[in-house]
Chain A
Amino acid sequence: MSKKNWPLWEIFVRSKNGLEHRHFGSLHAADAEMALENARDVYTRRNEGVSIWVTESKHITASNPENNGELFEPAQDKVYRHPTFTIYQTK
């Protein structure tokens, strides 16, 4: 038997009352159609979802953890960027 694995797919499911698709996990499948069927069986068998998106993991571009400093740290001391920061004066 071939040891070659099917490619990895990322699965996004929109829950019944959810407004957007959320990342549920990943699984292996030979193509998109099989990924949908597998996602249906693996992630929605307990009535979790009303819609599924699948995309091959290789198509996802991720940020590099090594760059976390320059990417995310500058935001840490800027709490005033939260909308709750502003105090509205009420009479």
Chain B
Amino acid sequence: MKENLYNYILGIADNSLILGQRMGELCGHGPSLETDIACTNISLDLLGQVRSYFQYAAKIAGDDRTEDDIAMLRKERDYKNVLLVEQPNLNFAHTIGRQFLFDVYHLAFLAELQKSTDLTLSAIANKCIKEVSYHERFSSDWVKRLGDGTSESKEKIQEAINDLWTYTDELFHQTKADKATVLESVGVDVTKLKDDYYKRVKDLLEEATLKIPDSKWFQKGGKEGIHTEHLGYLLTDLQYMQRTYPNMEW
């Protein structure tokens, strides 16, 4: 089995899986019917992407693992998503702030992954990028609306951006699997995305009349499986059915 490639795929897919679960939590709980459906649509897009990645990962694993096993039956430390995506939905501004800070990265990442020499990954990226372009449009529109909205909405989105800023640097950290796959021109060199990312984010925050956080201290660990306390609770939700009724299907 190509272990580096397998771990690399999990690293990409877990971001979408965990963020998809977070957005899915808003199903029936969004602030309005329209935003509720929008968040749930984003969740479904992300989970659809995850299926493509995990089906490929299961094929590479080459044993009797299925996409469902990989998604549902790992332990907390085996999830390699960045800390940003597991942060909870404290309020709509936090949800939008998290989505925006991830979408800008996700879009740039997929644009590069399309150039991968691994044809399956490049095809998945090619399919996902249209969905993610819309996510990025949706979340950046909302950052502008909240920032340039009422004094209350401005305060809340500023607070969300300030709180979540500490998780942004991790997006550009490389794991062992990252480095190995970059050498084979399969993986994306995320360190090269960093400058453009912060430029795009800062430009948009300025347009939204928001302050750019000046904190230089960043959290990390998710990519190595060291998570914030929130992931455990999320996983108990995500995994409940498979843990309670093993091998159930519908």
Set of chain B residues within 8 Å of A54, measured between Cβ atoms: none
Residue of B nearest to A30 (CB): B145
Instruction: Pick the interface stretch among A32-40, A57-65, A76-84.
Output: A32-40
Set of chain A residues within 8 Å of B32, measured between Cβ atoms: 6, 28
Given A28-B32, A28-B34, A29-B34: A41 and B141 interface contact (C-beta under 8 Å): no
Q: Is the CB of B37 within 8 A of A41?
A: yes
Counting residue pairs across A and B whose Cβ atoms lie within 8 Å, the total is 30
- A77–B109 alpha-carbon span in the complex (Å): 67
- Whether a CB of chain B sits under 8 angstroms from the CB of A42 is yes
Residue of B nearest to A1 (CB): B152
Q: Is the CB of B41 within 8 A of A38?
A: no
Residue of A nearest to B32 (CB): A28
**Chain A: minimal CB distance from B106 (Å):** 18
Chain B: interface residue total (CB-CB under 8 A): 13
A 12-49 contacts with B by CB, 8 A: 27-30, 33-34, 37-38, 40-42, 45
Residue of A nearest to B42 (CB): A41
Set of chain B residues within 8 Å of A37, measured between Cβ atoms: 38, 137-138, 141
- Whether a CB of chain A sits under 8 angstroms from the CB of B1 is no
- Whether a CB of chain A sits under 8 angstroms from the CB of B248 is no
- Whether a CB of chain A sits under 8 angstroms from the CB of B33 is yes
Interface centre among A33, A41, A42, A45 (most CB of B within 10 A): A41
Set of chain A residues within 8 Å of B137, measured between Cβ atoms: 37
**Chain A: minimal CB distance from B139 (Å):** 11
Set of chain A residues within 8 Å of B145, measured between Cβ atoms: 30, 34
Set of chain A residues within 8 Å of B138, measured between Cβ atoms: 37
In the A-B complex, list the 8 residue pairs whose CB atoms are closest, starting with the nearest: A38-B34, A41-B38, A41-B37, A41-B41, A42-B37, A27-B34, A45-B41, A42-B34
19 new A-B contacts, CB < 8 A, other than A30-B145, A38-B38, A42-B33, are A2-B150, A27-B33, A28-B32, A28-B33, A29-B34, A33-B141, A34-B141, A37-B38, A37-B137, A37-B141, A38-B34, A38-B35, A40-B134, A41-B34, A41-B37, A41-B38, A41-B41, A42-B34, A45-B41
Which residues of B come within 8 Å of A, CB atoms? 32-35, 37-38, 41, 134, 137-138, 141, 145, 150
In the complex, 15 of the A-B residue pairs with CB atoms within 8 angstroms, ordered by the A residue number, are: A2-B150, A6-B32, A27-B33, A28-B33, A28-B34, A37-B38, A37-B137, A37-B138, A38-B34, A38-B38, A41-B41, A42-B33, A42-B34, A45-B37, A45-B41
